[in-house]
Amino acid sequence: MILVNKDTKILVQGATGKMGASHTKRMLAYGSKLVAGVTPGKGGDTVHGLPVFDTVNEAVEKTGATCSVIFVPPYLALDAGCEAIDAGLDLVVLITEGIPPQDTAKLVAQAKAKGVKLVGPNCPGVITPSETLIGILPGVIFKSGPVGMISRSGTLTYEIALVLSDAGHGQSTCVGVGGDPIKGMGYPELLRAFNDDPATEVIVLIGEIGGTAEEEAAAFIKEHVKKPVVAYIAGQTAPPGKRMGHAGAIISGGKGTAETKMKALTDAGASVATTPNEVVEMVSKARAQLARK
């Protein structure tokens, strides 16, 4: 597993809002170790039994939280993220979508300067199955096992995790990096983490058209990753020049097509699936080969 486990102490920024309160309840039901909520002006309240604080600093001092998950409107996300980073948290998971790119750029720079891991924005979160769920992922479809997952697409994460789980291929940790063109942790950092993780045997990388993130991942895989990688690229039939779902999922100038990404990953030694079900077949084959070694 990477990033989070059953001992990760989590605070929820925006816990008293509709979205924050709803997912606080779901995360608690999963067994995540939520220790506090944070909403300025609501200090002293409770949400689903959690104490609410006015500031992240106070919440960290009182509870020892090491991770924040953020459910705030886009115009508040930069301030909320910077507050979490300045409080010295290890990990910040930013669920909010629709954040102005310039705000995200400032936040990513701040996180890097302070050595804080940032996942998101516009992401479903992180889950280490049977241990902790941070974000909006549907915990019931994930099962504990040796497959690490990294994805730009939330819904494809769910679809592929479900078919993997049904086939007996549980997951070590699943990380939704988000679909925005500017984001925190990307493929290289997470590929390195999974490659170094003794609980992960096979890495599944779920990408989509637009940008060059998958080509960069391919270069990193070729040079640094020793474990089997199975990749799937969404948008294989997307017409050029059309944005498909995410802000980052647009082909421009002939770059960022499914074909170029699939070729780069194949050339790097990854197994590249053309359908989600084929991901399962390739993971089965990779695990069988590992078992024979």
Residue-level pLDDT, tens digit, the chain, 293 residues? 999 999 999 999 999 999 999 999 999 999 999 999 999 999 999 999 999 999 999 999 999 999 999 999 999 999 999 999 999 999 999 999 999 999 999 999 999 999 999 999 999 999 999 999 999 999 999 999 999 999 998 899 999 999 999 999 999 999 999 989 899 999 999 999 999 999 999 999 999 988 889 999 999 999 999 999 999 998 776 666 555 555 454 555 455 788 999 999 999 999 999 999 999 999 999 999 999 98
The pTM for the full model equals: 0.94
Dump the DSSP string for 47-93: ETTEEEESSHHHHHHHH---EEEE---HHHHHHHHHHHHHTT-SEEE
pLDDT of residue 246: 54
Is 246 tagged catalytic? yes
Amino acid identity at 249:
A
List the domains of the chain with CATH numbers. Answer: 10-119 (3.40.50.720), 138-292 (3.40.50.261)
Q: Considering the candidates 23, 48, 169, 246, report the single residue annotated as catalytic.
A: 246
Could you tell me which of 70, 38, 75 has the C-alpha nearest to residue 136?
Answer: 70
Per DSSP (E only), the strands in the chain are 10-13, 34-38, 46-47, 50-53, 67-70, 91-94, 117-119, 125-128, 132-135, 144-151, 171-176, 202-208, 229-234, 271-273
- Residue whose entry in the numeric block shows the structure tokens 């909006």: 136
pLDDT of residue 154: 87
